[in-house]
């Protein structure tokens, strides 16, 4: 009997062993549920962020570089056993209640087993916690790259970074971005995002129950290293840019300077501006609200977004159209009695000699000459009616890039105002308007609005005698053969090169003996045109457009100073100081006219009503 009993027991041992071996086969080999669970628990994927491309000015001065920001993360689910929460609170400068609140929030928003506990920890606190991090198991830092700036300058050109938002995440096709990533929101940061951002890498590793890295997955076979972004060389001359910013300090307005031969923007200033460092990831939260509240609109990029009637700076263009269209020729003279009579209306002119030639009309900014030119163009027999003549006039302007976006690589570009004929049809009735209704367009008033960059582009087109390259701030993308194609193609105006000569002569006269002569620069032959733009809301806007040297143009510039007065008083001096600064490297540190320079730098032309509402911390460091 006992022998059988022994066999029963042996059989039991064998049976149990078999049951276990089969059960093991089931959970280890057949069922991959456990493998998936194990990887979910202990496998982590970490993105390796590339260094974002650096940004330099045209002379390879470093402008924008990367600076790490630290996010304090917790692994979820976190076990707080053995963590001195009081010490964590103390280091983070929060109380226990806040600590628990954040922890609960982290637990709710668990994102791939980790979640942000404190965003953008300051360097000081980072250093303090990092030292004791081993005590706080489950807490770790994630480092992301924020931007910092060598110069308190060029904020509107450079733009800024921000976290990718929901719709960007949803819309992206390649799936590059993850929640929490930064991308360029404005300026070149946005335009050249795909060049600057580089290629992300990734790392797979195991973590222990505290979320501490326990070594790579499959010896790093799946890991990919990151490829840094391309550096960007801008066409901006940081010295000229900063100089212009100093001149525009405490003024509302804009300067755009272009190299006519290439369309490269040398300086693009919108004032008031702000310190770009105040708008990086770490600081923007603090300053954005202030900037929004400021009535002088420091975020608004006047250089590309604000349409200003060009005023008298438009006259050279009007002269070019008149010449090209046959309304006038180089020898045309109009008599100016000091006004232009339009039925019972009178358009006043300035005091100058009666007999006005084309050159003289530019030099002395004669309204009558342009009213007459415009009138005769509108009445040319080759046009059936005013509408057709107007459309022809409009087409000339379009060939200068007006009425549509130029395609500048600066954020917020506006197309300006250039109405088509239907606008006047709606206003006055079809066929019921003639030149008299729109005569003010001839001297740059009325329904015409140019952004400063469009104005500068006109100066560049005149300097080039009939063509322009689309203005752009990118000069070179390192690692790429070329900048975008659209910045390398010539755009021709509909004016033949010969017609530019008399106009340029007139513009030269402006700076020799005309409205801009007060600020002429010895040794530089400048072609310019002042403008005083009527402003129904306050003082006139001061405007100026110029290029130099006339023989071999190296810079074309447009300046607008809002609510300040005559073109010759503010805009022209600022433009000339900048031209001098750019063309005469010898006087880089010292202007030939220190008095004028000081006057420009120190004048506060911000309307008094706004002054008290400005927050100066936005502009400084």
DSSP code per residue over 274-322: --GGGGSHHHHHHHHHHHHH-TT-SSS-HHHH--B--GGGGHHHHHHHH
Q: Alpha-carbon dihedral of residues 73, 76, 79, 82, nearest 10 degrees?
A: -10
Q: How distant is the alpha carbon of residue 180 from its chain centre?
A: 23
Distance in Å, CB of 206 to another protein, minimum:
4
The beta-strand segments (E) located in 457-587 are: 467-469, 474-477, 490-492, 527-533, 541-548, 555-561
Q: Which is nearer to another protein, 5 or 166 (CB)?
A: 5
Residue 264 backbone dihedrals phi, psi, to 5 degrees: -70, 130
- Which of the ranges 178-186, 202-210, 311-319, 387-395 carries the binding residues for another protein, by CB under 8 A? 202-210
Among 68, 215, 431, 518, binds another protein (CB under 8 A): 215
Give the Cα separation of 126 and 116 in Å (integer): 14
84 binds another protein (CB under 8 A): no
Residues 31-50 binding another protein (CB under 8 A) are: 31, 33-35, 37-39, 41-43
Among 63, 72, 92, 207, binds another protein (CB under 8 A): 207
Distance in Å, CB of 83 to another protein, minimum:
16
Among 119, 209, 261, 405, binds another protein (CB under 8 A): 209
222 binds another protein (CB under 8 A): no
Distance in Å, CB of 12 to another protein, minimum:
8
For residue 465, what are the CA distances in angstroms to 256, 363, 426, 500, 588? 19, 19, 36, 6, 29
Residues 6-25 binding another protein (CB under 8 A) are: 6, 9-10, 13-14, 16-17, 19-21, 23-25
Distance in Å, CB of 26 to another protein, minimum:
9
Give the Cα separation of 620 and 513 in Å (integer): 40
Exposure on the CB side of residue 508, measured as CA atoms within 13 A: 15
Q: Which is nearer to another protein, 39 or 93 (CB)?
A: 39
Give the Cα separation of 558 and 533 in Å (integer): 14
Q: How distant is the alpha carbon of residue 325 from its chain centre?
A: 37
Distance in Å, CB of 24 to another protein, minimum:
5
Q: Which is nearer to another protein, 42 or 283 (CB)?
A: 42
Exposed (0-12), middle (13-18) or buried (19+): which is 192, by Cβ within 10 Å?
Answer: buried
Q: Which is nearer to another protein, 20 or 111 (CB)?
A: 20
Q: How distant is the alpha carbon of residue 587 from its chain centre?
A: 30
Q: Which is nearer to another protein, 43 or 48 (CB)?
A: 43
DSSP code per residue over 465-533: TSEEEPPBSEEEETTSSSS-GGGSSEEE-SS-GGGHHHHHHHHHHHHHTSTTGGG--TT---EEEEEEE
Distance in Å, CB of 49 to another protein, minimum:
25
Distance in Å, CB of 14 to another protein, minimum:
7
Distance in Å, CB of 25 to another protein, minimum:
6
Each residue 330-359 as x (binds another protein by CB under 8 A) or -, in order, gives ------------------------------
Among 65, 176, 206, 467, binds another protein (CB under 8 A): 206
- Which of the ranges 141-149, 209-217, 303-311, 592-600 carries the binding residues for another protein, by CB under 8 A? 209-217
* DSSP label at residue 578: H
431 binds another protein (CB under 8 A): no
CB 578 within 8 A of CB 247: yes
Largest CA distance in the chain: 143
Q: Which is nearer to another protein, 32 or 98 (CB)?
A: 32
Q: Could you identify the residue written with the tokens 């880089």?
A: 588
Q: How distant is the alpha carbon of residue 204 from its chain centre?
A: 37
Q: Which is nearer to another protein, 131 or 208 (CB)?
A: 208
Distance in Å, CB of 179 to another protein, minimum:
25
Extract the tokens encoding 24: 């093991």
66 binds another protein (CB under 8 A): no
Among 98, 135, 208, 420, binds another protein (CB under 8 A): 208
Q: Which is nearer to another protein, 214 or 430 (CB)?
A: 214
Extract the tokens encoding 427: 């206003």
Q: How distant is the alpha carbon of residue 379 from its chain centre?
A: 43
Q: Which is nearer to another protein, 18 or 199 (CB)?
A: 18
Q: Which is nearer to another protein, 9 or 143 (CB)?
A: 9
Chain length of the chain: 621
Residues that bind another protein (CB under 8 A): 1-2, 5-6, 9-10, 13-14, 16-17, 19-21, 23-25, 27-29, 31, 33-35, 37-39, 41-43, 206-210, 214-215, 217
């Amino acid at each position: 009997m006992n022998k059988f009993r022994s066999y029963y027991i042996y059989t039991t041992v064998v049976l149990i062993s078999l049951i276990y071996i089969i059960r093991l086969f089931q959970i280890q080999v057949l069922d991959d549920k456990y493998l998936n669970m194990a990887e979910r628990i202990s496998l982590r994927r970490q993105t390796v962020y590339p260094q974002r491309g650096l940004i330099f000015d045209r002379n390879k001065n470093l402008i924008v570089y990367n600076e790490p920001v630290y996010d304090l993360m917790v692994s979820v689910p976190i076990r707080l056993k053995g963590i001195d929460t009081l010490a964590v609170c103390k280091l983070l400068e929060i109380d226990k209640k806040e600590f628990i609140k954040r922890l609960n929030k982290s637990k709710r928003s668990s994102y791939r087993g980790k979640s942000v506990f404190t965003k953008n920890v300051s360097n000081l606190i980072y250093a303090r916690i990092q030292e004791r991090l081993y005590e706080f198991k489950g807490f770790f830092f994630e480092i992301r790259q924020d931007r910092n700036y060598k110069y308190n300058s060029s904020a509107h050109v450079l733009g800024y970074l921000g976290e990718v938002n929901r719709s960007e995440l949803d819309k992206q096709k390649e799936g590059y971005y993850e929640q929490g990533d930064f991308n360029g929101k404005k300026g070149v940061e946005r335009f050249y995002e795909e060049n600057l951002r580089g290629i992300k890498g990734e790392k797979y590793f195991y973590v222990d129950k505290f979320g501490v890295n326990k070594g790579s997955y499959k010896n790093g076979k799946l890991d990919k290293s990151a490829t840094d972004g391309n550096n960007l060389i801008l066409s901006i001359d940081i010295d000229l840019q900063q100089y212009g910013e100093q001149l525009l300090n405490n003024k509302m307005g804009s300067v755009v300077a272009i190299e006519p031969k290439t369309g490269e923007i040398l300086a693009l200033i919108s004032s008031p501006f702000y310190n770009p460092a105040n708008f990086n990831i770490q600081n923007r939260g603090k300053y954005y609200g202030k900037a929004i509240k400021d009535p002088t609109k420091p975020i608004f990029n006047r250089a590309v977004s604000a349409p200003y009637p060009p005023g008298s700076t438009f006259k050279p263009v009007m002269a070019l159209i008149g010449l090209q269209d046959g309304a006038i020729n180089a020898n045309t003279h109009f008599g100016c009695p000091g006004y232009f009579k339009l039925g019972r209306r009178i358009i006043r002119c300035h005091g100058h000699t009666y007999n006005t030639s084309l050159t003289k009309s530019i030099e002395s900014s004669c309204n009558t000459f342009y009213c007459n030119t415009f009138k005769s163009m509108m009445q040319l027999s080759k046009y059936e009616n005013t509408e057709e003549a107007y459309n022809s006039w409009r087409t000339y302007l379009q060939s200068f890039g007006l009425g549509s976006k130029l395609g500048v690589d600066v954020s917020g570009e506006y197309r300006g105002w250039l109405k088509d004929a239907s606008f006047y049809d709606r206003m006055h009735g079809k066929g019921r308007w003639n030149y008299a209704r729109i005569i003010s367009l001839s001297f740059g008033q009325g329904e015409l609005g140019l952004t400063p960059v469009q104005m500068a582009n006109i100066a560049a087109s005149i300097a080039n005698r009939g063509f322009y390259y689309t203005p752009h701030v990118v000069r070179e993308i390192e690692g790429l053969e070329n900048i975008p194609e659209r910045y390398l193609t010539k755009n021709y105006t509909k004016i033949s090169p010969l017609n530019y000569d008399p106009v340029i002569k007139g513009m030269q006269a402006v700076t020799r003996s005309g409205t801009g002569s007060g600020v002429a620069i010895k040794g530089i032959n400048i072609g310019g045109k002042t403008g005083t733009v009527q402003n129904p809301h306050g003082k006139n806007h001061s405007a100026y457009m110029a290029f130099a040297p006339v023989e071999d143009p190296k810079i074309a510039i447009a300046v607008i100073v809002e609510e300040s007065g005559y073109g010759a008083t503010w805009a022209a001096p600022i433009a000339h100081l900048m031209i001098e600064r750019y063309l005469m490297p010898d006087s880089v540190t010292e202007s030939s006219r220190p008095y004028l320079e000081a006057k420009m730098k120190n004048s506060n032309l911000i309307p008094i009503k706004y002054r008290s509402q400005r927050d100066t911390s936005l502009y400084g460091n």
